[in-house]
Amino acid sequence: MEDPAQPPAIDETQPSRPTRATPSPGESRAVAFGIAAWFLPGLGHALQKMWGRALVVFFAVGLLVYAGASMKGNVFTRQGTDAFDKLGYIADLGTGSFYLFARAIETKGADVSQAGGDYGTRLLATAGVLNLLAALHAYEAARGHKA
């Protein structure tokens, strides 16, 4: 007969129940920095007091977005019909809040019938991918990896 006052004995022959992995505070902070870096280019580095990198990322992404949109590059929307449009939309979204800036300054629409518009499309996509790379860098730096 088991004594109710005693805690139940642990059966060590049974495998222990897997515990759900909870993110550490440092990991949550790193994710927050990564999201901040995506939303506003350079913010992830600025929050970690990496001022040089923050300024360079901010102005590099901003310049590429400004140049791309003012060269009448294609700022893709989610109404894209084919895979290239969808991939372009994902790349453009990589610029975070600057996507709205690009939409705001390109009021006359894209014109990819001339080379400038085609270059503009590439510059916008480059800005998005560059910002995603910078956000990943900010995330890794916040995790303590050498950066």
Q: What is the 3-state secondary structure (H, E, C) of the chain?
A: CCCCCCCCCCCCCCCCCCCCCCCCHHHHHHHHHHHHHHHCCCHHHHCCCCHHHHHHHHHHHHHHHHHHHHCCCCCCCCCCCCHHHHHHHHHHHCCCCHHHHHHHHCCCCCCCCCHHHHHHHHHHHHHHHHHHHHHHHHHHHHCCCCC
- Binder among 48, 95, 121, 126 for other proteins (CB under 8 A): 126
- By CB under 8 A, which span of 10-18, 27-35, 78-86, 131-139 interacts with other proteins? 131-139
Q: In the range 75-114, which residues lie near other proteins by CB under 8 A?
A: 104-105, 107-108
Provide the minimum distance between the beta carbon of 108 and other proteins in the complex, in angstroms, as a whole number: 8
Phi, psi values for residue 49, rounded to 5°: 60, 30
Extract the tokens encoding 88.
Answer: 């372009």
CA pair distance 38, 105, nearest whole angstrom:
20
Measured from the CB atom, is 24 or 104 closer to other proteins? Answer: 104
Q: In the range 16-45, which residues lie near other proteins by CB under 8 A?
A: none
- Binder among 130, 132, 139, 142 for other proteins (CB under 8 A): 130
Measured from the CB atom, is 80 or 117 closer to other proteins? Answer: 117
Question: Does the protein bind other proteins through residue 134 (CB under 8 A)?
Answer: yes
Measured from the CB atom, is 41 or 89 closer to other proteins? Answer: 41
Q: Contact positions toward other proteins, by CB under 8 A? A: 52-53, 56-57, 60, 63-64, 66-67, 69-72, 104-105, 107-108, 115-116, 119-120, 122-123, 126, 130, 133-134, 137, 147
